[in-house]
């Protein structure tokens, strides 16, 4: 690993938990800058944020965003010097950790070489990024359409599927998030879709597998998989298979639960798609690039989708980037007929340069293998031990650095700790749990009645154990409601 290797991290802690300023490239906004004239004090940052920044997904008057001063490895730090171990990887995207020196250096180098050229030109950074991704991609997928993030990737994936099949319906799961542009939000099953309805026409919803809260009253994974596939086939029959362009699914459902599909499910979807001429789209925006301990989560299941969408972990969001990896059959549709889609910043050289560097660093440092091992040997066992001790933990599930604790009021009835989409007083147990984590220096990822454990793929064993020990204390808050 890079500067944040386990040895050096424990060295830092042995030295008395030195501040992040010790790290090689963790100068951050409080360091004096010559060209980049930024405010140096927290008060100015806070004041101008409150006065001028319009934040996403928020009631503007009710929020108080924490100014982050600097970050390094698995930690970020506020202006008072309080360090947080990041068990959320920001929005589950900082897979390589903060301020990886080689990645920072590569971005600086690419910025010096060439910051931008429009997408119609060929360019070394973009062709190398596409080549590397095609080389890693499942099966025979070998072309890449680049976007600026995950939502745009999904928009373009369904556009390709519709043009390729000359059909218009897209099947999407209730328990899903696919992004916040018009089409991606219409595909999204969770409540973030509601305020933007009616969405684009042609989206049809189905239930994916989730054995712990089975929509099919299944008793185990095998039954859940079989019944979920039967249900999917029924939906297609009643919609008319000849009208269905695509089925989109998150290979491992992310924000909506860390739902690892039971054996046979993805293979079953693949064979339904093959039989009925439907395009299979795997949304790996969150699950890909190391998160599941694989380059692509589908690799774990031996399934080759027709389109794979990615973003986040491809370059850990150091520069915005996403894309669609395309099968030869779908790419071929656009050999003689233009693909009607594009973005000014598609295939951006700075973003592509950062993806090239990030992929090479992942390979050199064995980050995918590390994520798989730390999940299997440290995080999984550590979280299961928590489940044994805490009555509020109903289920532990996950793989790689992609885990969820499903919290309940009662392990027998599985009543969720807070209701679906709870807010305000109804969400108090989860809000208090998150506060207890933050107070102890752990930044958690919570969603509805779940606490997700989604640290950087580079997290050391010691850091993972440190975070789990904090969860062990903080869960007392949730236990009090159980």
Ligand X SMILES: Cc1ncc(COP(=O)(O)O)c(C=O)c1O
For the beta sheet containing 442-443, the strands, ordered from the edge strand earlier in sequence to the opposite edge, are: 68-72, 75-78, 83-86, 442-443
Contact pick of 94, 157, 173, 286 for ligand X (by CB under 6 A) = 286
Is residue 394 involved in binding ligand X (CB under 6 A)?
no
| Residue 294 Cβ vs ligand X, minimum distance, rounded to whole Å | 16
| d(C-alpha 329, C-alpha 307), whole Å | 10
| d(C-alpha 270, C-alpha 66), whole Å | 44
Contact pick of 77, 224, 283, 299 for ligand X (by CB under 6 A) = 283
Is residue 250 involved in binding ligand X (CB under 6 A)?
yes
Contact region with ligand X (CB under 6 A), list: 46-54, 230-238, 280-288, 367-375: 280-288
Instruction: Give the DSSP per-residue string, 109-169.
Output: HHHHH-S---TTS--HHHHHHHHHHHHHSSTT--EEEEESSHHHHHHHHHHHHHHHHT--E
Contact region with ligand X (CB under 6 A), list: 176-184, 197-205, 298-306, 378-386: 176-184
Contact region with ligand X (CB under 6 A), list: 174-182, 210-218, 288-296, 330-338: 174-182
Is residue 322 involved in binding ligand X (CB under 6 A)?
yes
| d(C-alpha 14, C-alpha 462), whole Å | 12
Between 148 and 482, CB nearer to ligand X: 148
Contact region with ligand X (CB under 6 A), list: 173-181, 212-220, 395-403, 428-436: 173-181
3-state helix, strand, coil in the chain (%, to 5): 45, 15, 40
Is residue 151 involved in binding ligand X (CB under 6 A)?
yes
- Asked if 156 and 170 touch (Cβ cutoff 8 Å), the reply is no
Contact pick of 178, 291, 372, 397 for ligand X (by CB under 6 A) = 178
- DSSP label at residue 253: B
Contact pick of 179, 288, 305, 394 for ligand X (by CB under 6 A) = 179
| Residue 35 Cβ vs ligand X, minimum distance, rounded to whole Å | 29
What is the three-class DSSP state of 199?
coil
Q: How far is residue 189 CA from its own chain's centroid? A: 16
| Residue 55 Cβ vs ligand X, minimum distance, rounded to whole Å | 14
CB atoms within 10 A of CB 190: 20
Contact pick of 75, 177, 310, 403 for ligand X (by CB under 6 A) = 177
Which residues of the chain form contacts with ligand X (CB under 6 A)?
91, 149-151, 154, 177-179, 250, 254-255, 283, 285-286, 311, 322
């Amino acid at each position: 690993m890079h500067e944040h290797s386990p040895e050096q991290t424990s060295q830092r802690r042995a030295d008395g938990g030195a501040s992040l300023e010790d790290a090689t490239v963790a100068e951050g906004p409080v360091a004096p800058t010559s060209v980049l004239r930024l405010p140096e004090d927290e008060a100015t940052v806070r004041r101008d944020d409150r006065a001028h920044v319009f934040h996403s997904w928020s009631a503007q008057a009710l929020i108080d965003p924490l100014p982050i001063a600097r970050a390094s490895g698995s930690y970020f730090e506020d202006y008072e010097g309080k360090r947080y171990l990041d068990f959320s990887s920001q929005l589950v995207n900082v897979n390589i950790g903060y301020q990886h020196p080689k990645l920072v250096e590569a971005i600086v180098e690419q910025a010096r070489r060439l910051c931008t050229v429009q997408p119609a030109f060929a360019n070394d950074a973009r062709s190398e990024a596409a080549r590397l991704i095609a080389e890693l991609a499942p099966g025979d997928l070998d072309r890449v359409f680049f976007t600026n993030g995950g939502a745009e990737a999904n928009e373009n994936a369904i556009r390709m599927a519709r043009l390729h099949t000359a059909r218009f319906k897209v099947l999407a799961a209730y328990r899903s998030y696919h992004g916040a542009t018009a089409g991606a939000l219409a595909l999204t099953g969770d409540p973030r879709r509601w305020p933007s309805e009616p969405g684009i026409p042609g989206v049809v919803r189905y239930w994916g597998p989730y054995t712990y809260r089975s929509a099919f009253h299944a008793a185990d994974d095998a039954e859940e998989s079989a019944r979920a596939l039967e249900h999917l086939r029924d939906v297609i029959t009643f919609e008319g298979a000849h009208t269905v362009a695509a089925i989109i699914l998150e290979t491992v459902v992310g924000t909506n639960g860390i739902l690892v599909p039971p054996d046979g499910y993805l293979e079953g979807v693949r064979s339904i798609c093959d039989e009925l001429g439907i395009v299979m789209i795997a949304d790996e925006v969150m699950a890909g690039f190391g998160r599941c301990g694989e380059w692509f989560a589908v690799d774990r299941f031996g399934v080759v989708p027709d389109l794979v969408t990615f973003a986040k972990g491809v370059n850990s969001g150091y520069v915005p980037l996403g894309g669609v990896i395309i099968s030869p059959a779908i790419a071929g549709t656009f050999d003689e007929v233009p693909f009607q889609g594009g973005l000014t910043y598609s295939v951006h050289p700075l973003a592509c340069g950062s993806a090239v560097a990030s992929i090479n660093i992942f390979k050199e440092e064995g980050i995918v293998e590390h994520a798989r091992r730390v999940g299997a040997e440290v995080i999984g066992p550590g979280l299961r031990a928590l489940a044994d001790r805490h009555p509020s933990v109903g289920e532990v599930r996950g793989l790689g650095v992609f885990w969820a604790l499903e919290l309940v009021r009662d392990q027998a009835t599985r009543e969720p700790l807070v209701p679906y989409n709870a807010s305000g007083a109804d969400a108090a147990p989860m809000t208090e749990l998150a506060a207890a984590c933050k107070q102890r220096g752990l930044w958690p990822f919570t969603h509805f009645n779940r606490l997700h454990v989604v640290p950087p793929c580079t997290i050391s064993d010691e850091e993972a154990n440190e975070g789990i020990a904090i969860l062990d204390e903080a869960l007392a808050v949730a236990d009090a409601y159980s």
